[in-house]
Each structure stands twice: as C-alpha cells, then as structure tokens.
C-alpha cells in the first residue's frame, strides 16, 4: 500500500463530490440469525448446561453418574413426576448407600466443555424435590473434566418433598475451557431434578442472556437489522417441530423446547423475547420471519391457516402493543414495559419454489396473501417481505399479481458468480418491489475452505453492487452467522467459536468493514485507464493440480514443460519446500501425500493462470481408498477446470472431465482400475484445445474440447463511494480480486479538499488463507493513515492484490474558484 501525489498511475478513480446520487438505505447491512451449527444453544445463548431439562432422548444424555468412596446409586429418567406440563421428564437420582467420605454425583459436560474463568460468578438455578428419607444437602461445583480440580462449590440444603426452585451462585477460583458441572448427594434417598440452569455473566447483564464475547462480535458489526429466527428453523422438518413463538417466552421452565431441523433439540431459551431484546441492545431493527403453515415434510391446509395468522398478529402485539393489550401485558410482565417497535415481517422462508415435488412450494401465493391482508389490515405500518425462488435460478422474481413491498433473494454461489454479478442490480426495474438479499455467501468448497479470503473477496465485490443500488436493494444479510466448531453442519460461516474462544472469518470482517463505513449518500464514481482483453479463443488455459477423492495417494516428480521451447515451467519432487502449491482442499503432507480418504475431494494447484500448450508429467502411487487419482489442468478456479480421473467411480473407470461453473461433464472415458501400491507414470499433453493423456506411456485419451473454458474477466477494481453528510467524510470501498496490485489515482472532483485519510485493508499472502481458533487473526483488516493527502484533491494509492480496502477521507468545503 502506498500513497504519493507525484507518481503516475495507470488507473484513475474519479469521484463526483459535486453531484451526489441516491440516498443509501439506512438499513442496508444487517445480520441473519438462525439456530444452526449450535448457534443458539451451545453458542450465543449463554446457558452452560446441555440438556438442562432432560428432554433429549430416553437416557439422560450429556449427564453422567459418578460414585466415589463406597457410595452407591443410580440415575433414571422419570416421566411420572414431571415439574409441569411443559416438562415431560425429570432426572431421578437414587442414593442407595451413603458414604460420609464419598458421594453419588451427576455431572454435565456442557456443550463440548464448560468455560470457567477465575473470578467470575456463575448463576445456578434448578428445580428439585426429594423423598422423605433424604435429609442431606446437595453440593454443587465446577470441576475439571477428570474431577481432580474443583474451581468453586457451594451447598444447597432443605430439599422438600414438593417441587421447588433453588438458586445460588458459584465463584470460580480457576480457569478451564473444558470444565464440568457436578451435583453431589451424600445421604440415602431419592432426589428429582429438572431445569438445571447455569449462566455466566451475560451481555448487557440480561437475565437468561447471551454469551458476552459472541454478542460483542455481533455488536461490533453494527448491524442495522436482525432477521430471526430462521431460515429452515422456522419451518421445521414437520409442522410439529415448527417454531412457535408463544412457547418461547416467559420463564424457562415453561418452555417445552422442540426438535431443531438441524439435528438437535433446542431449549428455546433464546426465544422471541430474547431476540427482540437483543435487537434493542444492538440498536438494530427486528425482522421476524413467520411460518405460513409449511414445513419441509408436511404442511397444514389453507383451511387451517387462521390460527397461524392469529399467531403472527399476536406476535406483533407482543412486540408493539402497549401494556393494556393482552400480549403487550405479557411483554411487560416479562420485564419490558416499553414496546420493541417491530417493523418488518417476512411471510415464510424459501417457500416460493414452483416445484410440485417440493412441499415447501405448496400454494405459497394463496398463503402469502392471507397473511399480507391480515397484517396490513391491523398493522398497516408493518413492512412485509415476500419469498421469491431461493434456488434453481439466478433471476428470482415475484410472479403474482398480489401486492408485495420487498422480496427476499438468496444466493449461495461461487466466488466467480458473485464477481460476475457485481452489476446485477444496475438495471433492475425501479418500479418493481424492493430487494432484500436475505441470505448470501460463497459456499462452493473449492472456493471457500472453512471461510477464506477468496470467499470474502467475491462477497465484497457483490456488496459494492448492492450498495451502489441501494435504492432498490434496501437490505442484505450474510448467512449463516455462527458456527460452533464442534458442529459444522453448514460451511462456511461468519463467526466461529468453541466453549472459550471465538474468531471471525474474512467474510465477517468484510461485513464489519462495509457496515461500519457506510455513508448516507452515494457519490457517482468512474474508473478509467484500462481495457478489457478478450480471453484467448479455442485454447485451454490455466494452472495444473493434483488431488484425490475418497482415496489416499502419494505424488512425486511433477514436471511441467512448455511445448514451444522445452522450457521447464515447474519441477517439484517435494523435498521440503511446497510454496509453489496452493491447497484447495484435503489433508496434505510431504511428499505431497493426500492422506485424507474422506469423500470431500482433495486438491492442490500450482502454476500460472495463463499457462497453455504444456506437458505435465508426474508419478503417483495409490495408498488406500475406494477411488484413484485426480490430475488437474486448465485450472481457472474452483468451479472451472479439467481433470484426468484415473480409477474413478469406485475404481472402475478412467475419464477426462470438464468442470464448467461447477457442472461436471465427461469428455471421454474408458474402463480401468488403479492398483494399490503400484507407482504409475502419468502424462497430460495440452495443445491448444486438444488433450492427450498417457498412463505408463500408453495413450489413454486423445480428445479436443470444441469450447474450452475461458478465464474470468475481472475489472481492475470493484468499488462504491459514499458520503457521510454528518461528518463530511468520503468513503471509498474498493475490492481488488486480482493477483496484481493496482496503482490508482484517486481524484475527488467538486468543491471539497481532503484534510486527511485512513485506510483499512483486508488481505493476505494467499486467497486460501483462513483464520482459526489457533490463529484467529491471520486475515484481519489492518488500519493505517494515508500519508501526504492533506490539502489535496487527488492522490495516488496502490490497492493491494487480493484485497478489500476502505478509504475514509476527511474533507472540507473548498471553492477552487476563490483560489
């Protein structure tokens, strides 16, 4: 990165500060929260006890029995003595033999370990009752996983024969990220437990609140709205497991919880009220997504919709009604007398697919209009959001005559797709509905890893287009927001955590950079000084690579030779240095042995994106697994490449495949197998659009691709400029997804001059770089002052390769005509 007013620059970014454009949507950048990947339970919801109500399974899952000394006892789930109608089971502990020096204990491991921090106070509550012969006390403690260290404990006595709530606190004297919680009994008798709850200090000190570090990560994004509670979480796999907001408010012991579509039971501890409270604490608008009688596997008929419609009207009253209304009174009773000011309701989630085989497409229009009319009749001030196709098309549209204010578009695509669609909204019909891009992210495995810079670059390019067109794109939210590292159901995600640590992916930092640096007026900006060069015709171009699928393979002696002059472009026998290679997926070790036999493909690539007319030779030995070897050539990106697949299809076939925008086609194939332990000599000759492949000097294939893959055409920069009229700051967001830095003249035209400037730059050595729990700040923005800009109206700036940059220029009015 550099700034110098004297050096020439090939590119010029001209900003028209004199003639501002559209007003930028004040709610453009928000977040989408869904309890997927244990984002709520075991995540943002701060509850530390897993299966606190003993409702999971027919055994006390995540609880274990421990006997010390000569004490003896058992634990069972009891359905005959429930706490209340919301709780169907309790845990019964029977102490049959007591030992003054020992105990019968039950331990809970939490969500992959309980985080204990020295000096912190933990708030415990539980319901219990005892048989008449039990006269002892219950000792509660936080311990190390092996029970050898006790980080804090206290005792509760006077357990009666009727259900009663008990509360206490534990102050920790040690720190452990993998602790456990223990309830210990020391006298003969039976004790029943239910709703055992343990909370650390919470975000904003809210009761039944949120984990501080995770909530702070969200707050630092400065989201303008929060879409909740889903997502598919709203629908459920069946209607019996749909989200019902009335079951998620009030005391936690009155919440039955339900089976989450994403594979685990949710307590609903982070319920409707907690979502609204979180929005208020963030200063964000709530956006509530409602179920319209459709689940993934079943639905209710149109004749049964009335109660579901009434549920939505009641939800609005709970959020917005004064304390004299029935549900406003419930809100006040739950600790929030003032209304929450809910403004946005989304009618359904991904329910408009026009697919007779998909239950979620079941009569969406008819359902939508019933909800729309009911909401508008009683609450005309509420903005409603309709569903359009969420998959199967890149051009979703509203296909009904029914009125609609905003439509929700979802895009999970490749990096290149997002770059190609930087100008998607430039020509949208301004007379149509406004757009909410409710879910979007780079999700193709070879593009995103577990959340890398490459994914963030594509998303950032797309975001410049959304902001530039925020007269039509009113709202946008990346998805998903959270993932517990122990339950990566969906990949990638913005924020990754375990019981004690958290980090943001590069995509998180892009969201934060854009949301923290948004003006209120768009400034027209043009980039000049470049020409788009058409890709070479009828020629295979790109890098080379090696990989596997479901197999472990050892590769060696990789050589790439230029056919025109026999110049060696690459020679690698992997002695120690592997910097020539970029790992796209899989687990690799010297001497480039793909050791992972999982079904996820392993791939590493090397070379230059402009290679053509070359010969690739290498040796390969299959070590284990069901398939064979994958040799890549003409590699453009993770969705566009050719491969020689040897021993594919369960080791029955050899083939040359073409992968075009993620779609795979076989160009040619023949029967064949690969033998474990045998070393094969492989050669691929790429001449123009012709491919010859040899196995042990025997010609396997000779095929010509009549329409070779073409390299993507990237602009030098993708950008959007805005002005914060409150401060006078001019804000330039620029994305350089290219391998070369771009020296650019920044030229501010108008009656302003620059006082000073700052730069925030997100980049890394490789686009595949990621953050991790072990290295959480490998790819983060770096802030700096821009030197030499004071008093200027133009300056040179070099945008780093593969970077997202925010330039913030402090300005003052300056009439050049008076100079």
In degrees, to the nearest 5, what angle opens at C-alpha 118 toward C-alphas 62 and 269?
40
Task: Return all residues near 429 (Cβ < 8 A) that are at least 6 apart.
Answer: none
| The pLDDT value given to residue 181 | 99
Whether residue 480 has a cis bond before it, omega within 30° of 0 = yes
| The pLDDT value given to residue 602 | 78
| The pLDDT value given to residue 778 | 98
In degrees, to the nearest 5, what angle opens at C-alpha 148 toward C-alphas 143 and 151?
35
H/E segment holding residue 583? strand 581-585
| The pLDDT value given to residue 714 | 82
pLDDT over 80 at 534, yes or no: no
| The pLDDT value given to residue 463 | 99
DSSP 3-state assignment of 278?
Answer: helix
Q: What percentage of the chain reaches a pLDDT higher than 90?
A: 85
C-beta of residue 552 within 8 angstroms of C-beta of residue 623:
yes
- Residue 593's pLDDT band, with cuts at 50, 70 and 90, is low
pLDDT in tens, 214-269: 999 999 999 999 999 999 999 999 999 999 999 999 999 999 999 999 999 999 99
Between 779 and 355, residue with greater pLDDT: 779
pLDDT in tens, 120-136: 999 999 999 999 999 99
H/E segment holding residue 69? none
Task: Return all residues near 506 (Cβ < 8 A) that are at least 6 apart.
Answer: 451, 452, 453, 455, 456, 762, 764, 769, 770, 771, 779
Residue 777: CA count within 13 A, CB half-sphere = 2
Task: Return all residues near 698 (Cβ < 8 A) that are at least 6 apart.
Answer: none
C-beta of residue 200 within 8 angstroms of C-beta of residue 115:
yes
pLDDT over 70 at 571, yes or no: yes
Beta bridge pairs of residue 220: none
DSSP 3-state assignment of 359?
Answer: helix
Q: Which of 547, 548, 546 is nearest to 559 (CA)?
A: 546
| The pLDDT value given to residue 575 | 66
| Beta-strand runs (E) in 479-550 | 482-484, 495-497, 502-504, 521-522, 525-528, 543-548
One DSSP character per residue, 7-43 reads S--SEEEEEESSS--PBPPTT-EEEE----TTSTBTT
Q: Which entry of 350, 389, 409, 439 is annotated as an active-site residue?
A: 350
pLDDT over 80 at 528, yes or no: yes
What is the overall mean pLDDT for the chain?
93
3-state helix, strand, coil in the chain (%, to 5): 15, 40, 45
pLDDT in tens, 457-499: 999 999 999 999 999 999 999 999 999 999 999 999 999 999 9
Cα–Cα distance list, 702 to 560, 655, 669, 689, 690 (Å): 19, 11, 10, 11, 7
Q: How far is CA 547 from the centre of its chain?
A: 27
| Beta-strand runs (E) in 698-793 | 698-704, 718-724, 729-736, 742-749, 752-762, 782-785
Beta bridge pairs of residue 509: none
- Residue 816's pLDDT band, with cuts at 50, 70 and 90, is low
Question: Judging by beta carbons within 10 Å of its beta carbon (0-12, 13-18, 19+), is residue 94 exposed, middle or buried?
Answer: middle
DSSP 3-state assignment of 713?
Answer: coil
Cβ neighbours, 10 Å, residue 41: 23
What does the pLDDT average to over 375-394? 96
Alpha carbon distance 701, 644 (integer Å): 10
In degrees, to the nearest 5, what angle opens at C-alpha 437 toward C-alphas 731 and 240?
145
Alpha carbon distance 111, 100 (integer Å): 32
| The pLDDT value given to residue 610 | 86
- Residue 603's pLDDT band, with cuts at 50, 70 and 90, is confident
Task: Return all residues near 397 (Cβ < 8 A) that are at least 6 apart.
Answer: 388, 389
C-beta of residue 196 within 8 angstroms of C-beta of residue 96:
no
pLDDT in tens, 547-563: 988 888 999 999 999 99
| The pLDDT value given to residue 358 | 54
Cα–Cα distance list, 143 to 49, 169, 280, 424 (Å): 14, 15, 36, 55
pLDDT over 90 at 115, yes or no: yes
| The pLDDT value given to residue 444 | 83
What does the pLDDT average to over 181-206? 98
pLDDT over 90 at 8, yes or no: no
Beta bridge pairs of residue 93: 75, 191
C-beta of residue 687 within 8 angstroms of C-beta of residue 613:
yes
Q: Based on C-alpha coordinates, what's the Rg of the chain?
A: 30
Cβ neighbours, 10 Å, residue 251: 12
In degrees, to the nearest 5, what angle opens at C-alpha 311 toward C-alphas 306 and 317?
130
Alpha carbon distance 556, 681 (integer Å): 10
What the block records as the tokens of 287 is 């956006």
Q: Where are the alpha helices (DSSP H) in 634-702?
A: 648-651
| The pLDDT value given to residue 819 | 46
Q: N- to C-terminal Cα distance for the chain?
A: 32
C-beta of residue 769 within 8 angstroms of C-beta of residue 454:
no
C-beta of residue 455 within 8 angstroms of C-beta of residue 510:
no
Give me the residue label for tokens 């000190």.
Answer: 205
pLDDT in tens, 682-714: 999 999 999 999 999 999 999 999 999 987 778
Between 609 and 120, residue with greater pLDDT: 120
| The pLDDT value given to residue 814 | 74
Q: Where are the alpha helices (DSSP H) in 399-554?
A: 415-420, 445-448, 453-468, 506-516
- Residue 647's pLDDT band, with cuts at 50, 70 and 90, is very high
Domains of the chain listed by start with CATH number: 11-22+715-818 (2.60.40.1180), 29-42+205-413+435-440+476-518 (3.20.20.80), 63-201 (2.60.120.260), 543-704 (2.60.120)
Alpha carbon distance 269, 651 (integer Å): 50
Task: Return all residues near 623 (Cβ < 8 A) that are at least 6 apart.
Answer: 551, 552, 553, 554, 593, 676, 677
Based on the residue annotation, tell me whether 770 is a catalytic residue of this protein: no
pLDDT over 80 at 586, yes or no: no
pTM, 2 dp: 0.88
Whether residue 229 has a cis bond before it, omega within 30° of 0 = yes
What does the pLDDT average to over 146-169? 98
What the block records as the tokens of 290 is 């409602």
Backbone angles phi, psi at 627, to 5 degrees: -115, -145
Beta bridge pairs of residue 669: 655
Task: Return all residues near 195 (Cβ < 8 A) that are at least 6 apart.
Answer: 52, 53, 83, 87, 125, 126, 127, 252, 253
Alpha carbon distance 813, 796 (integer Å): 21
pLDDT over 60 at 811, yes or no: yes
Alpha carbon distance 379, 343 (integer Å): 10
| The pLDDT value given to residue 434 | 98
Per DSSP, 255 falls in state: -
Alpha carbon distance 403, 433 (integer Å): 9
What the block records as the tokens of 736 is 């350089």
Q: Tell me the residue length of the chain.
A: 819
| The pLDDT value given to residue 6 | 46
Alpha carbon distance 618, 237 (integer Å): 49
Alpha carbon distance 70, 177 (integer Å): 31
Whether residue 231 has a cis bond before it, omega within 30° of 0 = yes
């Amino acid at each position: 990165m550099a700034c110098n007013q004297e050096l020439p620059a090939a590119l010029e970014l001209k900003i028209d500060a004199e003639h501002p454009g559209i007003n930028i949507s004040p709610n453009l950048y928000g977040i989408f929260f869904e309890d997927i990947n244990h984002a709520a339970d075991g995540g943002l919801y701060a509850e530390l006890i897993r299966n606190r109500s003993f409702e999971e399974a027919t055994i006390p899952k995540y609880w274990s029995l421990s006997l010390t000394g000569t004490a003896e006892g058992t634990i069972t789930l009891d359905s005959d003595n429930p706490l209340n109608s919301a709780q169907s089971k309790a845990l019964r502990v029977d102490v049959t033999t007591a030992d003054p020096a020992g105990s019968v204990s039950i331990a809970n491991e939490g969500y992959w370990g309980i985080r204990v921090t020295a000096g912190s106070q933990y708030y415990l509550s539980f319901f219990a009752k005892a048989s008449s012969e039990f006269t002892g006390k219950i000792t509660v403690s936080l311990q190390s996983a092996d029970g050898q260290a006790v980080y804090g404990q206290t005792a509760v006595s006077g357990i009666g024969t009727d259900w009663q709530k008990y509360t206490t606190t534990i102050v920790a004297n040690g720190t452990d990220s993998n602790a456990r919680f223990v309830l210990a009994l020391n006298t003969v008798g039976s004790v029943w437990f239910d709703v055992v709850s343990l909370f650390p200090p919470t975000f904003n000190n809210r009761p039944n609140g949120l984990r501080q570090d995770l909530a702070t990560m969200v707050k630092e994004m400065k989201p303008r709205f929060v879409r909740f509670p889903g997502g598919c979480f709203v629908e459920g796999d069946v209607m019996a497991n749909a989200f019902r907001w009335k079951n998620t408010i009030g005391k936690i012991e009155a919440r039955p919880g339900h089976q989450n579509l994403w594979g685990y039971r949710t307590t609903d501890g982070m319920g409707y009220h907690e979502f609204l409270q979180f929005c208020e604490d963030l200063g964000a608008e709530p956006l509530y997504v409602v179920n319209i009688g459709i689940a993934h596997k079943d639905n209710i008929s149109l004749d049964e919709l009335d109660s579901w419609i009434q549920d939505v009207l009641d939800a609005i009253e709970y959020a917005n009604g004064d304390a004299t209304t029935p549900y406003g009174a419930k809100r006040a009773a739950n600790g929030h007398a003032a209304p929450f000011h809910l403004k946005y309701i989304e009618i359904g989630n991904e329910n408009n697919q026009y697919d007779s085989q998909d239950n979620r497409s079941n009569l969406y229009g008819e359902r939508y209009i019933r909800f729309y009319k009911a909401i508008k009749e009683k609450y005309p001030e509420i903005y409603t959001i309709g569903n359009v196709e969420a998959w199967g098309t890149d051009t979703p549209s509203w296909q009904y005559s029914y009125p609609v204010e905003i439509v929700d578009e979802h895009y999970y695509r490749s990096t290149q797709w997002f770059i190609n669609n930087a100008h998607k909204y430039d020509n949208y019909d301004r007379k149509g509905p406004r757009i909410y891009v409710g879910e979007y992210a780079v999700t193709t495995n070879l593009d995103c890893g577990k959340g890398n810079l490459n994914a963030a670059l594509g998303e950032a390019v797309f975001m410049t287009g959304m902001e530039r067109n925020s007269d039509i794109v009113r709202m946008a939210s990346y998805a998903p927001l959270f993932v517990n590292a122990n339950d990566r159901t969906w990949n990638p995600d913005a924020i990754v955590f375990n019981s004690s640590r958290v980090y943001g992916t590069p995509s998180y930092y892009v969201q934060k950079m854009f949301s923290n640096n948004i003006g209120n007026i768009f400034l027209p900006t043009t980039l000049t000084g470049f020409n788009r060069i058409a890709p070479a015709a009828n020629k295979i171009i790109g890098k080379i690579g090696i990989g596997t699928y479901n197999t472990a393979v050892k590769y060696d002696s990789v050589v790439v030779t230029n056919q025109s002059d026999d110049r060696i472009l690459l020679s690698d026998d992997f002695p120690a240095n592997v910097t020539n290679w970029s790992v796209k997926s899989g687990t690799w070790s010297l001497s480039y042995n793909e050791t992972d036999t999982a079904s996820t493909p392993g791939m590493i690539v090397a070379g230059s994106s402009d290679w053509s007319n070359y010969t690739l030779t290498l040796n390969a030995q299959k070590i284990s697994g069901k398939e064979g070897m994958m040799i890549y050539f003409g590699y453009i990106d993770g969705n566009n490449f050719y491969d020689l697949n040897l021993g594919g299809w369960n080791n029955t076939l050899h083939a040359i495949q073409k992968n075009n925008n993620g779609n795979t086609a076989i160009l040619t194939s023949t029967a064949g197998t690969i033998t474990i332990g045998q070393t094969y000599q492989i050669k691929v000759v790429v001449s123009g659009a012709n491919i010859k492949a040899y196995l042990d000097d025997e010609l396997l294939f000779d095929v010509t691709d009549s329409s070779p893959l073409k390299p993507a055409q990237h602009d030098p920069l993708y950008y959007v400029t805005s002005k914060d009229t409150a401060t006078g700051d001019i804000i330039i967001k620029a994305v350089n997804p290219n391998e070369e830095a771009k020296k650019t003249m920044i030229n501010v035209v108008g009656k302003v001059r620059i006082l000073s400037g700052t730069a925030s730059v997100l980049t890394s050595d490789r686009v595949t770089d990621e953050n991790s729990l072990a290295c959480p700040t490998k790819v983060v923005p770096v802030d700096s002052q821009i030197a030499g800009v004071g008093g200027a109206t133009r300056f040179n700036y070099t945008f780093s390769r593969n970077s997202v940059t925010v330039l913030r220029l402090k300005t003052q009015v300056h009439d050049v005509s008076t100079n």
